[in-house]
Amino acid sequence: MQVKVTFRNTDVKEDVKQRAEEKALKIKKFMMSPIQVSFILSQDKLKHFAELTVTGDGAHLTSSVSANDYFEAIDQSIDKVIVQLKKYKDKIKTKKGGKKASEIVSE
């Protein structure tokens, strides 16, 4: 898994970079093939922005979040991508003829 953290219009903050790398590990359990995770962090006066791009397993997912600090923005963007990944995996599973997870539980 490759994690790339880029800061725009702000100085590099090691604690924020480390947090982004730690949170990116949550994505790894949903994907099998080599994964590329790219964070672009920027700041505009009082708002902090996090753009997250995840590619791998045939998926290309993005999320963009603004928050009061970088940590909150990173957490929210990871949560958004995880929801997208779950939907993508469920969609792939139904296309291949498998049953949805909700159908298996109801039986």
| 3-state class percentages of the chain: helix first, strand second, coil last, to nearest 5 | 45, 35, 25
Q: Give the pLDDT score at 58.
A: 82
pLDDT digits (tens, 9 = 90+) for 90-106: 888 787 665 555 554 44
Please tell me the total count of domains within the chain. Answer: 1
- pLDDT mean over 41-54: 93
Q: Give the pLDDT score at 1.
A: 85
Domain of residue 80, CATH code? 3.30.160.100
Q: Quote the radius of gyration of the chain (alpha carbons, Å).
A: 16
pLDDT digits (tens, 9 = 90+) for 25-42: 888 888 877 889 999 999
pTM, to two decimals: 0.81
How far apart, in whole angstroms, are the C-alpha atoms of residue 37 and residue 35?
6
pLDDT digits (tens, 9 = 90+) for 55-104: 988 889 999 999 999 999 999 999 999 999 989 888 887 876 655 555 54
Range of the domain at 24: 2-106
Q: Which residue has the tokens 């947090």?
A: 19
